[in-house]
């Protein structure tokens, strides 16, 4: 396979250390690395390790250098030998390798593996006992393609080529008439046939370039690549080719002659990647550079000529062709790379780019710009309603920054694994940013900040107002890890939740060269482990001067740095004092009224970084904002918005920078009330709807707002600050429309209320003990038909499907609510669990969708009590996403589950995640889960965390965990009894990873079980059946 990375990158191995022995191996994939220690076979190896008789292909890898113990050869040299020689494959055994023909790389044979590990001496890995003959070829080595690429620079398959992926897309330029393909087969003598529906057909040899394949003019071109081996096995790859349709309407690219090329359409924004220094305009990598209109000294960058929206056809030159490419699939391709960063000027002219969408969870350096280099300058740009997903170094504007940024902002969502920030993912030491802000919801694992994830650079007069969520460490409202960077005159207002090293402003502050000064934080701070502070989580020798946090709003009285004050004390000063805001300058800060926190002013930036001394970030010109006036959008709008009754929830959840919401109320709800809380009490709040109009004070409850009976009700809230423009929020209120046609809710008198529709299933939440039927929280309880002793639960009398209109009483009104956005709301909670019976009589519920990554106790049922009993429930094609305590059927189970099952996918962002139940305490029998499970820790194919009894059950889904206690059946068993069960799915994790159980502790009993799945673990305690066992009874278990 191909390998791409930064440092310690190799075709076979990245790094070999600590007495590692690596012998008799080879690699042929392409290798690219932008940093240090990049090799065709291994990136780096220490002196204590052994490398011997290893090889790589210099032609296919593109690498000609390597370390001692590995040799680079040509493709012909590696394919030519049919037996080991003194120069190639020296010492390689023919009982292990089949050297094939003179046109093949060596292939592996099945071996007993006694030389690999003592385990295999008594249990050989081949032979009749395991169903494979020793000395025969491993399966699948000659099937399909090793690589497929377009024979032209700048054209890339989407997704990237992988052997197991068979369907691809390719977007080419509008003037591209044909393409050529290079298909490299695993078996060099394989027959490769390339064909297109437009009458093209050709048989080519492996690793050769095809003839020109003509492309259709007005529709996509479908190309098939069939790979057939000597044993007549055929693999087909399919490629859909579309044209990127745009052309310049005017060859003059710099119309005003200021040296900045005008960007009028999204296609122009896309074209920046083809001329990263801004010296001209290139429509593609092969297009000629256009410089018409540039001054005599040449063009030096780009400028945005108008607002652009990825959702708006008018923002495209050719929306019919190009809009789908940047809105669907992986979305926008970030501009530049760390190796080839953007190195020009970019002036946004105070324009806004909206609805940027990037969905590249496996890609590093992700943002509108992937990487911005030293000497570049980004000014006056706003990003609104963004959705950015990446792996490492992910920010709304820039993934990794070494340039200067001023007067810019982002609003939306950023998700990543590591080093994620609202505006910048990783801010390097030469980088500088001033007068900017991020109103962005940021979620990741480690190094997570509302403004910047990892900081080594210079930051001044900036703020972050979005919430921050992280599973791991170094989490802050403004910066995740400040590693030697300087941050001054900045603040954070968002709420923060993380593991360790969590702070309202910064998670971790490291090295004696780092400094944070004249800054504050007011957000709520929650941490699951240690080093949790109101301002700073942990400080390792970093300097701190005159920093503060609000002990009331944060919920924290301690911090690793800064001084804590009450809300009143934080808001009351109208200037710097001797006790609070000591030394803070009125040139930088506006201290407002006695009910306002300080807000920032525009600064020229000269005190932050040298680059701004030569090119100030503010002045009296039309291009830049005036100095000493407030930064835009500070403390405007609402800090929170709640509804009364509390049973109603806004969709999406309230965020200051999201302005449009929906809410669904019960069919009998006649009115609602709102509680809007402004950022400062001096704000005027006007609520309007139909004939209703009322001004309310911040944090007070409005009068009753009447709702329409036959149509949606639209409510607007106009928030007017003491200065500046008003902000408007809208709420669309819809009714949950259904009614019971027959007041007899228990028609057969068995004490179980019949559930005929999904609305009936939904209604269980309003009578959790099953003693009657309530259509809504305020509706009357109906008991007609119940026996003398009363009803005790519910029974499913029909198969229900969330995608089928016939499963609803009113599909037109209710279907959208449970199929889009957050989907189904789990029934019951840990505080108020479901406490009745549910009998399904082998009926099924299909296409359940739950998308609540910030919610605990998630499943069809959020929680069930000891009094509950669930029998015969089948869940098909489910997709359940939650935080911790997540299962398809039940999030937290204290009741009995019998004869039930689930099929689909479950993902938990945190801990205790299982295919059927997240956290289990009582008994489950005769049940199964065919569910793929993913999450962080305590993950199991059947149960995440078990304290109860489980018998005669099985799990066959794959389990992938990012941390510890990962098992094919149970992640962590603490005091539970598990007998007569099995697991067959593959299991992947870090520590305490087992094919059946990850971790077995306390007074646990595990007997008469087995596991079949492949087990992979990158840390400690990895086992075929159990990762680690400390239980009192463990017997007759097999793998």
pLDDT in tens, 783-813: 888 999 999 999 999 999 999 999 998 877 7
The yes/no answer on whether domain 329-614 falls in CATH 2.160.20.110 is yes
pLDDT in tens, 365-376: 999 999 999 999
> Judging by beta carbons within 10 Å of its beta carbon (0-12, 13-18, 19+), is residue 288 exposed, middle or buried?
exposed
Mean per-residue pLDDT for 316-343?
89
Q: What percent of the chain has pLDDT over 90?
A: 57
SS3 per-residue string spanning 726-750: CEEEEEEEEECCCCCCCCCCCCCCC
> Is 42's pLDDT higher than 80?
yes
Choice between 857 and 654, residue whose per-residue pLDDT is larger: 857
The least confident of 61-65, 72-76, 337-341, 1016-1020 is 61-65
Residue 658, pLDDT score: 80
- 498-514 burial code (b ≥16 CB/10 A, e <16): bbbbbbbbbbbbbeeeb
Residue 131, pLDDT score: 67
Residue 629, pLDDT score: 87
Both structure tokens of 985: 């799915």
Residue 471, pLDDT score: 85
> Is 441's pLDDT higher than 70?
yes
Mean per-residue pLDDT for 548-553?
96
- Where does the pLDDT of residue 82 fall: very low under 50, low under 70, confident under 90, or very high at 90 and above? confident
The least confident of 281-295, 628-642, 694-708, 729-743 is 729-743
Pick the CATH number of 821-1038 from 3.40.50.300, 2.40.10.330, 3.90.79.10, 2.160.20.110: 2.160.20.110
Average pLDDT of the chain is: 88
CATH number of 638-735: 2.60.40
Cβ atoms of residues 376 and 343 within 8 Å:
yes
Residue 798, pLDDT score: 93
> Is 153's pLDDT higher than 60?
no
pLDDT in tens, 467-514: 999 989 999 999 999 999 999 999 999 999 999 999 999 999 998 888
- Cα separation of 487 and 521, whole Å? 13
Domains 638-735 and 821-1038 agree in fold: no
pLDDT in tens, 230-263: 666 778 899 988 776 555 545 689 999 999 999 9
Residue 361, pLDDT score: 87
pLDDT in tens, 921-953: 999 999 999 999 999 999 999 999 999 999 999
CATH topology for 145-244 is Immunoglobulin-like (2.60.40)
> Judging by beta carbons within 10 Å of its beta carbon (0-12, 13-18, 19+), is residue 651 exposed, middle or buried?
middle
> Is 69's pLDDT higher than 70?
no
Instruction: Give every CB contact of residue 838 below 8 A, 6+ residues apart in sequence.
Output: 764, 793, 794, 795, 796, 868, 869, 870, 871, 873
- 460-490 burial code (b ≥16 CB/10 A, e <16): bbbbbbbbbbbbbbbbbbbbbbbbbbbbbbb
> Is 737's pLDDT higher than 60?
no
- Cα separation of 540 and 511, whole Å? 6
Residue spans per domain, the chain: 3-108, 145-244, 250-328, 329-614, 638-735, 739-799, 821-1038
pTM: 0.57
pLDDT in tens, 833-877: 999 999 998 899 999 999 998 889 999 999 999 999 999 999 999
- Where does the pLDDT of residue 141 fall: very low under 50, low under 70, confident under 90, or very high at 90 and above? low
pLDDT in tens, 762-774: 999 989 999 999 8
């Amino acid at each position: 396979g191909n390998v791409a990375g930064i440092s310690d990158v190799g075709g076979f191995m990245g790094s070999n250390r600590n007495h590692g022995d690596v012998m008799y191996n080879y690699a042929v994939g392409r290798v690219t690395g932008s940093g240090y220690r990049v090799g065709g076979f291994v990136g780096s190896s220490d002196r204590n390790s052994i490398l011997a008789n290893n090889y790589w292909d210099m032609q296919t890898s593109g690498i000609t250098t390597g370390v001692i113990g590995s040799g680079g050869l040509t493709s012909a040299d590696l394919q030519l030998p049919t037996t080991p020689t003194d120069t190639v494959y020296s010492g390689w055994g023919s009982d292990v390798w089949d050297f094939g023909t003179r046109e093949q790389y060596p292939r592996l044979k099945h071996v007993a593996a006694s030389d690999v590990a003592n385990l295999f001496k008594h249990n050989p890995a081949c032979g009749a006992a395991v169903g494979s003959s020793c000395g025969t070829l491993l399966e699948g080595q000659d099937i399909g393609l090793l690589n497929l690429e377009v024979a032209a620079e700048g054209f890339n398959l989407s997704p990237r080529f992988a052997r197991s992926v068979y369907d691809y897309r390719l977007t080419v330029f509008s003037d591209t008439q044909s393409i050529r393909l290079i298909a490299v087969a695993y078996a060099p003598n394989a027959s490769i046939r390339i064909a297109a529906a437009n009458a093209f057909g050709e048989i080519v040899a492996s690793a050769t370039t095809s003839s020109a394949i003509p492309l259709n003019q007005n529709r996509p071109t479908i190309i098939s690549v069939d790979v057939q081996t000597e044993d007549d096995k055929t693999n087909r790859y399919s490629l859909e080719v579309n044209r990127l349709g745009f052309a310049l309407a005017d060859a003059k690219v710099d119309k005003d002659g200021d040296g900045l090329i005008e960007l009028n359409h999204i296609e122009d924004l896309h074209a920046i990647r083809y001329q990263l220094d801004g010296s001209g305009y290139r429509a593609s990598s092969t297009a000629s550079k256009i410089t018409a209109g540039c001054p005599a000294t040449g063009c030096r960058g780009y400028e945005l000529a108008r607002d652009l929206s990825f959702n708006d056809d008018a923002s495209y030159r050719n929306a019919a062709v190009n809009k789908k490419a940047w809105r669907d699939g992986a979305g926008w391709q970030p501009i530049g790379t760390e190796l080839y960063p953007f190195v020009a000027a970019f002036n946004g002219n105070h324009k806004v780019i909206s609805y940027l969408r990037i969905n590249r969870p496996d890609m590093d350096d992700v943002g509108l710009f992937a990487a911005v280099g030293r000497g570049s300058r980004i000014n006056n740009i706003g990003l609104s309603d963004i959705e950015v997903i990446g792996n490492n170094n992910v920010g709304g504007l820039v993934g990794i920054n070494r340039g200067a940024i001023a007067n810019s902002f982002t609003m939306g969502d950023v998700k990543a694994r590591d080093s994620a920030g609202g505006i910048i993912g990783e801010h390097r030491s030469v980088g500088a940013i001033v007068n900017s802000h991020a109103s962005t919801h940021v979620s990741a694992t480690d190094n997570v900040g509302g403004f910047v994830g990892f900081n080594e650079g210079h930051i001044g007069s900036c703020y972050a107002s979005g919430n921050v969520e992280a599973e791991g460490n170094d989490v802050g409202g403004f910066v995740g890890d400040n590693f030697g960077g300087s941050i001054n005159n900045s603040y954070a207002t968002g709420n923060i939740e993380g593991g360790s090293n969590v702070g309202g402003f910064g998670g971790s502050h490291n090295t004696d060269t780092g400094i944070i000064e004249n800054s504050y934080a007011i957000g709520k701070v929650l941490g699951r482990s240690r080093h949790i502070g109101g301002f700073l989580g942990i400080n390792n020798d970093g300097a701190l001067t005159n920093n503060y946090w609000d002990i009331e709003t944060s919920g924290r009285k301690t911090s690793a740095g800064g001084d804590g004050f009450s809300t009143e004390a934080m808001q009351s000063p109208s200037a710097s004092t001797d006790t609070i805001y000591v030394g803070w300058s009125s040139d930088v800060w506006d201290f407002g009224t006695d009910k306002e926190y300080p807000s920032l002013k525009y600064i020229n930036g000269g005190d932050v970084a040298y680059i701004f001394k030569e090119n100030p970030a503010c002045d009296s010109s039309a291009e830049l904002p005036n100095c000493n006036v407030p930064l835009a959008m500070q403390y405007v709008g609402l800090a929170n918005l709640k509804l009364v009754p509390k049973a109603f929830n806004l969709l999406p959840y309230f965020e200051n920078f999201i302005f449009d919401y929906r809410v669904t109320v019960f069919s009998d709800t006649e009115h609602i009330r709102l509680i809007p809380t402004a950022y400062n009490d001096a704000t005027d709040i006007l609520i309007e709807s139909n004939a209703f109009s009322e001004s309310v004070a911040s944090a007070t409850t409005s009068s009753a707002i009447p709702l329409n009976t036959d149509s949606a009700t639209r409510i607007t809230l106009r928030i007017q600050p003491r200065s500046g423009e008003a902000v408007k929020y809208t709420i669309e209120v819809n009714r949950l429309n259904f009614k019971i046609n027959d007041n007899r809710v228990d028609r057969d008198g068995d004490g179980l209320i019949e559930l005929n529709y999904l609305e009936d299933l939904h209604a269980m939440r309003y009578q959790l003990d099953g003693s009657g039927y309530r259509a809504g929280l305020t509706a009357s309880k109906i008991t007609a038909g119940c026996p003398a002793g009363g009803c005790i639960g519910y029974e499913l009398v029909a198969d229900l499907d969330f995608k089928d209109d016939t499963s609803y009483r009113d599909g037109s009104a209710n279907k959208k609510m449970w199929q889009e956005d957050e989907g189904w709301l789990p029934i019951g909670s840990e505080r108020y669990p479901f406490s009745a019976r549910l009998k399904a009589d082998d009926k099924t519920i299909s296409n359940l969708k739950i998308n609540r990554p910030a919610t605990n106790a998630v499943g069809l049922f959020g929680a069930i009590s000891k009094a509950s009993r669930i029998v015969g429930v089948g869940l098909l094609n489910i997709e359940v996403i939650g935080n911790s305590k997540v299962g398809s059927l039940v999030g937290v189970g204290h009741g009995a589950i019998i004869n039930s099952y689930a099929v689909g996918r479950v993902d938990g962002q945190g801990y205790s995640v299982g295919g059927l139940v997240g956290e289990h305490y009582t008994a489950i029998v005769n049940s199964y889960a065919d569910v793929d499970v993913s999450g962080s820790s305590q993950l199991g194919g059947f149960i995440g965390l078990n304290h109860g009894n489980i018998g005669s059950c099985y799990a066959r889904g794959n389990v992938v965990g990012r941390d510890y206690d990962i098992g094919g059946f149970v992640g962590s068993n603490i005091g539970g009894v598990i007998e007569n069960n099995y697991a067959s799915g593959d299991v992947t994790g870090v520590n305490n990873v087992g094919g059946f159980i990850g971790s077995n502790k306390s007074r646990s009993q595990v007997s008469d079980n087995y596991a079949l799945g492949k087990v992979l673990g990158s840390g400690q305690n990895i086992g075929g059946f159990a990762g680690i066992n400390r239980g009192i009874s463990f017997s007759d278990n097999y793998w």
